[in-house]
Structure 1
Amino acid sequence: MTERPNLLVVCGRNKRRSRTVEYIFKNDQRFNIRSVGLSPKSERQIKERDIEWADLIFVMEDGQSGRISGTFRHLELPEIEVLLIEDEYEYLDAELIEMLTDRINSTLEVVYKKKKSG
Structure 2
Amino acid sequence: MERAHRAKLQRRFKAHLKSARVICLDIPDEYAFMQPELVALLEKKVGRFLLPLREKVPPEGADEG
Which band: TM-score by shorter chain? 0.5 to 0.7
State the Cα RMSD in Å: 1.4
Aligned counterparts of 2:11 and 2:41: Cα–Cα separation in 1: 28
TM-score, normalised with respect to structure 1:
0.39
Aligned counterparts of 1:84 and 1:74: Cα–Cα separation in 2: 24
Aligned counterparts of 1:101 and 1:74: Cα–Cα separation in 2: 30
What residue number does 2:28 align with? Answer: 86
| Number of equivalences | 51
Q: Tell me which stretches of 4 or more aligned residues in structure 1 moved more than 6 Å.
A: none
What residue number does 2:11 align with? Answer: 70
Residues 62/80 of structure 1: CA separation in 2 closer, same or farther (3 Å cut): same
Aligned counterparts of 2:14 and 2:49: Cα–Cα separation in 1: 24
1:92-107 to structure 2, matched below 5 A, reads 92-107=34-49
Stretches of structure 2 lacking an aligned partner (at least 5 in a row):
53-65
More strand by share: 1
Percent identical pairs in the alignment equals 24
* Rg comparison, structure with higher value: 2
Aligned counterparts of 2:11 and 2:47: Cα–Cα separation in 1: 27
Stretches of structure 1 lacking an aligned partner (at least 5 in a row):
1-59, 113-118
